[in-house]
């Protein structure tokens, strides 16, 4: 370990008369033996106190932490505007490394070198098809590379070996791997060592992932030798191979998060919270959040406690489950790897996806936004400032920058087009003994006695109507996000201030290109071209980001909370007795037959709500992957290739559900033909008019 200092500017007067100008510290982190830089290492700058400690565990607490950050790819980090004083520079990962003391002089720049005792080594052996080593000749395409990584005090549970992309670790030795050479020419073989953070860093309340040391070997690979073949041969063809991309981890998190918000899981949470609290269904975080919210959520009405509990519980469920991305990007749902295998996609490996911005690991798309606004501070965690939810100063909210809420308002739009909200509103009017606008009113002679057990909940729903989103507000936000609008008396004369008029055309164009891509991808004699898909994704991403303003951060979560409550109420068995449901239809979720029964009773669209629900679920997943991906910086088609394969069930499911709901086929064969960009609400209105004429 060594330190040095160099004056930034030559003094022109007596040093004793110089003002106390701040200095700077540049910290370099290297492996002591190989001299390779260690990237993504957490470095803390602590103000030294009397009796300077010599161990990392003895460093003073967070009150003495002056600054912190993570090293870049060159293993360096620079701290600017450091006040003259004596500091301790601490390395926050394994292997444990003693801190270095350095004194900052006025106006001087200092260099600190932290030498970490990793002592990493990397050896490779090339073997031919007969598994014999190749000591003299150059490796060829199809040969194998056996790599072996070594480091001090191995094996260590705090150190992980990450093989290069496409390599397979050896079961007999976790420090070794095998890789098949598939391309001729200069080839880099680059495994990584990942170092877990120290517990002392977590105690400071700092989020950090592993530090990384890159190792590398090179090989000049020859082409495969030609071989004369005689006699009969068997030939098999497979689909086009692709390379792994780190954003598949984001897609896995989106898939897991949206599935975690599904109604069946919400219903299980409500059942455990209020009906069977001793079942232990694994909703500890949701229960804790509910305990906090129920103490702060009140209604200015009498006899609405049951509804207040329902509202607080639903809000807690949405808050906890709406956005979860693991810090290291490695924790994925159990079926993630099997899902990739079914899509013929390679595993993404351990290459980090999150970017390090000011010591915070965030999505690359949000990192771009953060770099656009460097003057806006990041608000500390709420528990650190002792405030519940309020922050009146301009700042990025740390939690939302780290874990954005993975919700799309298109989910609420399609649920509303499926008549979920209208069904609940119609029941509320009948509960208040009000006739509907339709004459004669089909519900006028329907006895409400089966709803008697829900009297208190329905009372709260009606009393709290003024505190819920109106159809006009939701309609304005649908238009702002996607250029989608509702049709009906409640939204007549709507004039949007900022509409996404090109979204429908761009999104439908993407779906059509994906359909063409799947035809090419399934043809094993053709190498599918994903450039068109990439350009279409970038166009949709740009349009979506233009609408991510105003109520973007609040209205989608509020709408999801209110509609989940409506689904839960309709799923209650009392509504099965109140409405003429069809018991023999296998609806995926218990609230759906109630909505279809109301649509049949009121003479609304006879298209099942199942199709609208599929549009909501599939549309949300696909748009989230487009919105939160850093597509503006992508120019190679590999990510678009993987995107189309990964989301194929959702894209084709959306196309089918759209045809079932509106009658428009989005996957038509002719790519040159202009796509149908008619508002879905107009298409639904035309189908309803046609349905009524035929009746």
Least confident residue range of 14-18, 226-230, 438-442, 595-599: 14-18
**What pLDDT is attached to residue 51?**
57
Has residue 52 got a pLDDT over 70? no
Confirm if 110 and 102 have CB atoms less than 8 A apart: yes
The candidate with the shortest Cα–Cα distance to 86, out of 114, 63, 115, 66, is 66
CA distance 474 to 467: 14
Same domain as 672, residue 562: yes
CA distance 272 to 259: 19
Q: Is residue 141 included in any domain, yes or no?
A: no
**What pLDDT is attached to residue 574?**
92
CA distance 75 to 30: 7
CA distance 413 to 298: 28
What are the pLDDT digits (tens) for 254-267? Answer: 998 999 899 999 99
Q: Is residue 147 included in any domain, yes or no?
A: no
Same domain as 435, residue 324: no
By DSSP bridging, strand 211-214 and strand 38-39 are antiparallel
Farthest-apart Cα atoms in the chain, separation: 99
Q: Which residue has the higher pLDDT, 100 or 276?
A: 100
**What pLDDT is attached to residue 6?**
46
Number of compact structural domains in the chain: 3
Q: Which residue has the higher pLDDT, 498 or 209?
A: 498
**What pLDDT is attached to residue 387?**
46
Indicate the residue among 380, 399, 418 that finishes a domain. 399
**What pLDDT is attached to residue 440?**
84
One DSSP character per residue, 363-425 reads: -HHHHHHHHH-TTSPEEPPHHHHT-SS---SS-EEHHHHHS-----THHHHHHHHTTHHHHHH
Q: What's the rounded mean pLDDT across residues 8-17?
A: 47
Neighbour-count burial of 17, counting CB atoms closer than 10 A to its CB (0-12 exposed, 13-18 middle, 19+ buried): exposed
By DSSP bridging, strand 378-379 and strand 108-116 are unpaired
Has residue 632 got a pLDDT over 90? yes
Percent of the chain with pLDDT over 70: 88
What are the pLDDT digits (tens) for 391-409? Answer: 556 666 777 778 888 999 9
Q: Is residue 192 included in any domain, yes or no?
A: no
By DSSP bridging, strand 23-31 and strand 108-116 are parallel
When pLDDT is cut at 50, 70 and 90, the band that residue 629 belongs to is very high
Q: What's the rounded mean pLDDT across residues 146-169?
A: 87
What are the pLDDT digits (tens) for 557-583? Answer: 999 999 999 999 999 999 998 998 988
**What pLDDT is attached to residue 414?**
97
Contacts of 240 (CB under 8 A, 6+ apart): 521, 527, 528
When pLDDT is cut at 50, 70 and 90, the band that residue 18 belongs to is very low
Has residue 535 got a pLDDT over 80? yes
What are the pLDDT digits (tens) for 636-665? Answer: 999 999 999 999 999 999 999 999 999 999
Same domain as 378, residue 316: yes
Q: Is residue 154 included in any domain, yes or no?
A: no
**What pLDDT is attached to residue 669?**
63
Same domain as 360, residue 507: no
Q: Is residue 573 included in any domain, yes or no?
A: yes
When pLDDT is cut at 50, 70 and 90, the band that residue 310 belongs to is very high
Has residue 136 got a pLDDT over 70? no
Q: Token pair of 400, please?
A: 């939302």
For 311, the domain range is: 251-399
Q: Determine the distance from the C-alpha atom of residue 324 to the mean position of all C-alpha atoms in its chain, rounded to a whole number.
A: 7
b/e code 225-238 from CB counts within 10 Å (16+ = b): eeeeeeeeeeeeee
Confirm if 339 and 258 have CB atoms less than 8 A apart: no
CA distance 626 to 506: 12
Helix (H) or strand (E) holding 265: helix 263-270
Cα distances from 160 to residues 174, 180, 210, 620, in angstroms, run 9, 22, 9, 35
Has residue 610 got a pLDDT over 90? yes
Confirm if 241 and 252 have CB atoms less than 8 A apart: no
Indicate the residue among 61, 93, 116 that finishes a domain. 116
Same domain as 538, residue 564: yes
b/e code 618-627 from CB counts within 10 Å (16+ = b): bbbbbbbbbb
CA distance 613 to 620: 11
Percent of the chain with pLDDT over 90: 38
Q: How many CB atoms lie within 10 A of CB 240?
A: 15
Indicate the residue among 343, 367, 399 that finishes a domain. 399
Q: Which residue has the higher pLDDT, 506 or 396?
A: 506
Q: Which residue has the higher pLDDT, 306 or 21?
A: 306
CATH code for position 74: 2.60.40.10
Bridge partners for 86 per DSSP: 103
Q: How many CB atoms lie within 10 A of CB 277?
A: 11
Same domain as 649, residue 513: yes
Same domain as 680, residue 535: yes
Q: Token pair of 648, please?
A: 């194929």
Cα distances from 492 to residues 485, 489, 495, in angstroms, run 11, 5, 9
Same domain as 395, residue 436: no
Same domain as 594, residue 558: yes
**What pLDDT is attached to residue 389?**
53
**What pLDDT is attached to residue 612?**
97
CA distance 53 to 541: 51
Same domain as 554, residue 446: yes
Q: Is residue 97 included in any domain, yes or no?
A: yes
The model's pTM: 0.76
**What pLDDT is attached to residue 12?**
47
Q: Average pLDDT over the chain, rounded to whole?
A: 85
Q: Is residue 430 included in any domain, yes or no?
A: yes
Q: Is residue 222 included in any domain, yes or no?
A: no
Using H for helix, E for strand and C for coil, what is the string for 182-200? CCCEEEEECCEEEECECHH
């Amino acid at each position: 370990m060594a330190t040095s200092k160099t004056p930034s500017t030559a003094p022109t007067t007596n040093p004793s008369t110089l003002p106390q100008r701040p200095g700077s510290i540049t910290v370099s982190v290297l492996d002591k033996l190989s001299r390779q830089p260690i990237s993504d290492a957490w470095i803390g700058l602590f103000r030294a106190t009397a009796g300077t400690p010599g161990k990392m565990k003895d460093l003073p607490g967070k009150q003495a932490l002056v600054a912190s950050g993570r090293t870049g790819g060159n293993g360096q980090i620079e701290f600017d505007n450091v006040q003259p004083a004596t500091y301790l520079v601490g390395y926050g990962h394994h292997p444990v490394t003693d801190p270095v003391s350095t004194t900052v002089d006025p106006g001087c720049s200092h260099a600190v070198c932290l030498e970490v005792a990793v002592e990493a080594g990397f050896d490779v052996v090339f073997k031919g098809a007969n598994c014999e080593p190749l000591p003299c000749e150059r490796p060829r395409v199809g040969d194998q590379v056996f790599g072996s990584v070594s480091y001090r005090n191995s094996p260590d549970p705090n150190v992980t070996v990450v093989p290069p992309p496409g390599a397979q670790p050896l079961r007999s030795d976790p420090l070794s791997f095998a890789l098949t050479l598939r391309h001729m020419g200069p080839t880099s073989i680059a495994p990584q060592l990942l170092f877990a953070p120290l517990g002392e860093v977590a105690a400071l309340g700092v989020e950090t992932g592993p530090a990384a040391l890159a190792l590398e070997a090179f090989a000049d690979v020859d082409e495969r030798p030609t071989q004369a073949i005689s006699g009969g041969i068997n030939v098999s063809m497979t689909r086009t191979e692709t390379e792994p991309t780190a954003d598949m981890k984001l897609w896995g998190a989106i898939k897991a998060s949206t599935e975690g918000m599904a109604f069946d899981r919400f219903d299980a949470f409500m059942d455990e919270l209020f009906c069977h609290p001793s079942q232990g269904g694994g909703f500890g975080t949701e229960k804790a959040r509910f305990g906090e919210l129920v103490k702060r959520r009140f209604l200015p009405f009498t006899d609405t406690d049951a509804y207040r509990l329902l509202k607080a519980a639903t809000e807690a469920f949405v808050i906890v489950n709406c956005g979860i991305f693991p810090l290291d990007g490695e924790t994925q749902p159990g079926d993630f790897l099997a899902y990739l295998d079914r899509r013929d996609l390679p595993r993404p490996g351990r290459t980090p996806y999150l970017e390090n911005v000011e010591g915070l690991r965030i999505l690359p798309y949000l990192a771009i936004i953060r770099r656009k606004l460097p003057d806006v501070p990041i608000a500390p965690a709420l528990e650190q400032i002792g405030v519940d939810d309020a922050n009146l100063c301009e700042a990025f909210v740390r939690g939302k920058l780290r874990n954005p809420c993975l919700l799309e308002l298109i989910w609420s739009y399609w649920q509303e087009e499926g008549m979920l909200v209208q069904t609940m509103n119609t029941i509320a009017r009948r509960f208040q003994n009000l006739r509907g606008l339709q004459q004669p009113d089909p519900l006028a002679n329907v006895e409400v006695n089966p709803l008697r057990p829900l009297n208190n909940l329905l009372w709260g729903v009606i009393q709290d109507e003024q505190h819920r989103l109106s159809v006009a507000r939701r309609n304005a936000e649908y238009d702002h996000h996607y250029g989608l609008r509702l049709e009906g008396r409640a939204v007549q004369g709507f004039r949007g201030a900022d509409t996404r008029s090109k979204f429908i055309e761009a999104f439908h164009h993407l779906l059509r290109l994906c359909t063409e891509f799947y035809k090419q991808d399934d043809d094993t004699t053709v190498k599918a071209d994903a450039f068109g898909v990439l350009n279409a994704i970038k166009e949709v991403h740009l349009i979506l980001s233009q609408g991510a303003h105003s109520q973007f951060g609040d209205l989608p979560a509020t709408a999801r909370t209110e509609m989940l409550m409506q689904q839960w109420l309709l799923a209650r068995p009392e509504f099965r007795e109140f409405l003429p449901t069809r018991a023999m239809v296998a609806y995926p979720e218990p609230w759906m037959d109630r909505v279809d029964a109301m649509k049949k009773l009121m003479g609304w669209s006879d298209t099942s709500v199942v199709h609208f629900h599929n549009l909501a679920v599939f549309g949300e997943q696909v748009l989230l992957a487009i919105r939160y991906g850093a597509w503006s910086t992508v120019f190679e088609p590999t990510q678009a290739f993987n995107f189309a394969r990964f989301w194929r069930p959702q894209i084709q499911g959306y196309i089918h559900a759209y045809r079932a709901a509106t009658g428009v086929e989005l996957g038509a064969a002719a790519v040159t033909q202009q796509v149908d960009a008619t508002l879905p609400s107009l298409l639904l209105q035309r189908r309803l008019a046609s349905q009524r004429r035929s009746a």
